[in-house]
Amino acid sequence: MTPFENDSALNQILVIVGPTASGKSQLSLEVTSQALQKNIQIELISMDSALVYRGLNIGTAKPSMAEQLQVPHHGIDIRDPWETYSAAQFAKDAARWATEIRAKGSVPVIVGGTMLYWRALSQGLTNLPQSQPEIRLQIAKEAQVIGWPAMYDRLQVMDPITASKLPPGDTQRISRALEVYLGSGQPMSSWIAKAPYAPSRDGSIIKHHLISLEPNDRQWLHARMAERFLKMLQLGFLDEVASLILNPQITPDLPAMRAVGYRQAWQYLREEINYPDLVSTSLAATRQLGKRQLTWLRAMPSRIVVDPSLPQVIPQTAAKCVSYIEQHCLR
């Protein structure tokens, strides 16, 4: 059992998920606006591993200050880029935020696309060994020498079960799996097999109402990804990354700098790739992220699928969300 299994603040919570650029923020703000018309105060809990970092604004499509003034957001700008933030920490924080929001008489709504965070909150996580920075640093140094494909090959030998579940390009989780093995002598898959909780039939230990934005037209999503990234460049994304690089505490191997677009911008600013490659590799990484997110989502049978490419679907879906809140979330 996890500390959240019987947490009343999380019970029946509304959750808005979807791949990157699918319109999650737009829907959450529309829900907030429609709820306010009925005197229902909403506060949003961000479920995004990149938005936790201060200074990563343009490249993460962080909600603007105006949007954050429109509705309170939790889970944004809570770590410096050189710090780490785990799924387990998110689960604890989200439970606390939900409790605090309820205590004010408002309704918490979770929104984001970091599905590992959702799994940690809704299903719990095993008690994996604590992070060991010295081992993680050694892994990063070795990866610089032999490359991440070789590190992935090593993981396939040490922990074939975990390796089979990770894309070869998911360097952050490959690093973590190697760290667990090297630090404990046991593969991560063995730790996970010892899970101390027993999820319900749908895999969740909290009741929830999960809206998943999944466009039927993949090209529609890819076009939105491209449009958004080009707009980021116009808004000064490269200047943002350049200012981050000046900080000696920030290195390209940090989790913050592994966020989509930031690694590629770092390479461009270091003259390792040219501008066309910056754009193409960033878009390729964004599409790959979206694909991974959709894979997670399609394994969740209890989700309610909404096609965000359809006309008027955002206000219509928001109205249904508000109706759900009225029926299940008010006390």
**Tens of pLDDT along 76-112?**
999 999 999 999 899 999 999 999 999 999 999 999 9
Q: How confident is the model at residue 281 (pLDDT cuts 50, 70, 90)?
A: very high
Determine the Cα–Cα distance for residues 321 and 251; give it in Å rounded to an integer. 41
Instruction: Enumerate the domain spans of the chain.
Output: 13-126+198-215+289-328, 133-193
Integer CA distances (angstroms), 185 to 127, 142, 159, 279, 320, in order: 15, 19, 11, 41, 49
pLDDT(4) > 70: no
Q: Does CATH place domain 13-126+198-215+289-328 in 3.40.50.300?
A: yes
Query: How many other CB atoms sit within 10 Å of the CB of residue 222?
Result: 16
Q: Contact, 41 vs 35, CB < 8 A?
A: yes
Range in 40-49, 133-142, 146-155, 199-208 the model is least confident about: 199-208
CATH number of 133-193: 1.10.20.140
The predicted structure's pLDDT at residue 205: 59
- Counting beta carbons within 10 angstroms of the beta carbon of residue 60, is it exposed (0 to 12), middle (13 to 18) or buried (19 or more)? buried
150-168: average pLDDT:
92
Q: How confident is the model at residue 273 (pLDDT cuts 50, 70, 90)?
A: very high
Q: Percent of the chain beyond pLDDT 90? A: 79
Strands (E), 75-190: 107-111
The predicted structure's pLDDT at residue 234: 98
Q: How confident is the model at residue 190 (pLDDT cuts 50, 70, 90)?
A: confident
pLDDT(260) > 90: yes
